[in-house]
Amino acid sequence: MNASLASIGAKRESMSANGAPVQWFVPQLQMFPLAARRCTVRNRLTGASLELSSGEYAVLSACEGCRPLGEHEALAAQRLSAPHEHRSAIRELLERCARQGLLISLPDLAARFGPTGASNMPPLVDVAIPTADRPRLVLRLLTSAVALQRRTGAAYRWHVFDDSRSADNRRGVVEAIESCPDLEVSYHDLSAVDSLESRLAAAFPGVRREIHSLLAAAAPGEITSGRTMNHELLWFAGRRFLSIDDDALLEPRRPPLERPGVQVGFSQPAAFWYDSLDAAYAACPELPLDPFVEHTQWLGLRMADAWRRAATEGIHVREIPHWAAAYFDSAASVIFTANHLLGDPGWVSFSGQQLAIGAETRAWLGANPEAVRHAFDSQIHWRGYTSLRLAPQTGLSTTTLTGFDDRVLLPPAARAGFATDTMIGELTRCIHPTGWASSLPFALPHLRDSRRRWLSPTEPPVFDRNRSLLASYAHRSSLSIHACDPAARLATLGEAFVDLGAASDATLHGVIEEHAADHARQVAFRVNEQLDDATTPEGWKQVLRQWVGSPLLRLDAEALRQQRLPPDELRTLARDFGRALIAWPRLWAWCRENAQ
């Protein structure tokens, strides 16, 4: 009788108030051996512990993510090749682990965000446009802003950060602004003598070199998109703001497929490819919304309030790895917001994302097999998520419109080179280990003047490896940082970069080769995973087979040696950027206190 009552109680505990199965999260568990076949297993989050046999621990270790107990049972049985007659024992074990606290129910996990309350955030009205030598695109964007303002009746303050090298192009940008008198636009000429760099150098003479490395004008032929981003982050220090690429348009578009509710967790973005912009527009009709309002309602929210808001629309939890438990914290908030894109996906020459497609894209290709050829032949893509999404912040892309909660310390970008958003995203993840991001389920057109030249399967890889290497190096270094203060964490990362810059040539060669190998392994794994998956359409498998022998995926010693870069470039970048990271919190705080 007692066993039956316990079973009934467990079944009740596995059902939520609305009758749906409760989802149970598997956190990172600690195992302490007791004997040859016995151990104690401890939940690091709650302190709960339970003595298990080695077989029971194997079952628990086979579970992952946040799922109803029935799905955990099926997953464990599949991974362990357990016979059907063992399923009841697996279920009983999981129910016991849930009762004893080794597993955490989704409501209890969300309760770690703390109590909800009014966020009391001021209206967000500042929108930045970073640009350099593209006055025609600035005019096109501002013209679309005028149309949006007339449609919605909502006015915003616009800030054009102009990094143009040419005086003619700077005049062109000013003329574009003057042609849109309905907008309130501030023009920031980054070539001005009375620059932010000079004011900061006067306030902090001891770090003039570091300030110069973050804000200095471009040398001939140098790409300095990071410089513009650093100006934005300092100008808006202490405030929330939005930043939009000058080659985007404020014409929101629906995704080709739509899901209701809010997805929580990690999943690959969907990708849909079209042979022309007209075909893409037909598949993704316009949406009558204000994209700035969509960003504003999530940007900067404490996660307790964001979770409550998401619950009203229906929360659907996707895969959440055990390490994501750290993000369920009372300090958690939405640091970045982003929407999706329709048009140029933003890759300079190649991205591993081009070869990795998720379940939604596979299903779409199954219904539209002719679209396979457009993946590389066309550069008109829809990339993003098909529903609103909340996820622990692990990356950043600023391809169209991005929201920044600059009320918390956000890190700088390396002034020169590509992938500046990737660096900011990774550093933010390192200094705000409980930060979240919201992905909004609409796209903005991202339209270039000319087609990019993408890498072919037979060409050697061309990447800004030094900067991507520093991003991954920052993540590894952050795992051993125990400070809570973001400024202290950023300074520690800066010191790690300075130490890397002081390393020997042999050490740097090893770091460079290891990074190249990691990148090749990750892309190769994604390719082979899809080739082995029965749900992958045959047409896409044919595309992937062209890349199997690509220099991009080679892991032999000779191929990795060929990807070696001169260590002096990495040494200089690591040293100078590391020193800049150490100085940045003082610069950011000064700009916050001396608000523009």
Residue range 511-555, pLDDT digits in tens = 888 888 888 888 889 899 999 999 899 999 999 999 888 887 877
CA distances 510 to 208, 469, 497, 514, Å, are 32, 12, 16, 6
Q: Is residue 43 part of a domain?
A: yes
Q: Is residue 593 part of a domain?
A: no
State how many domains the chain has.
Answer: 1
Domain extent for 93: 2-106
CATH number where 97 lies:
3.90.930
Q: Which two tokens stand for residue 232?
A: 């934005």
Average pLDDT over every residue of 21-35? 94
Which pLDDT belongs to residue 564? 59
SS (H, E, C) 283-347: HCCECCCCHHHHHHCCCCCEHHHHHHHHHHHCEEECECCHHHHHHCCCCCEEEEEEEEEEECCCC
pLDDT band at 456, cuts 50/70/90? confident
pTM confidence score: 0.92
Average pLDDT over every residue of 428-434? 96
Q: Is residue 133 part of a domain?
A: no
Which pLDDT belongs to residue 11? 43
CA 312, 239, 143: angle at the middle one, nearest 5?
85
CB atoms closer than 10 angstroms to residue 395: 16
Q: Is residue 415 part of a domain?
A: no
pLDDT single digits (tens) 540-552 = 999 999 988 888 7
Average pLDDT over every residue of 396-407? 94
Q: Is residue 505 part of a domain?
A: no
Q: Is residue 185 part of a domain?
A: no
Which pLDDT belongs to residue 8? 35
Q: Where are the beta strands (DSSP E) in 58-114?
A: 66-68, 104-105
Which pLDDT belongs to residue 512? 84
pLDDT single digits (tens) 344-360 = 988 877 767 788 888 88
Residues of the chain above pLDDT 90, percent: 70
Average of per-residue pLDDT values in the chain? 90
From 385, 361, 390, 360, select the one nearest 374 (Cα to Cα). Answer: 361
Q: Is residue 99 part of a domain?
A: yes
Q: Is residue 270 part of a domain?
A: no
Average pLDDT over every residue of 14-22? 65
pLDDT single digits (tens) 133-153 = 999 999 999 999 999 999 999
pLDDT single digits (tens) 284-310 = 999 999 999 999 999 999 999 999 999
92 sits in the region (left: phi over 0; alpha: psi -120 to 50; else beta) called alpha
Which residue has tokens 């022309």? 276
Within 8 A by CB and 6+ apart from 2, the residues are none
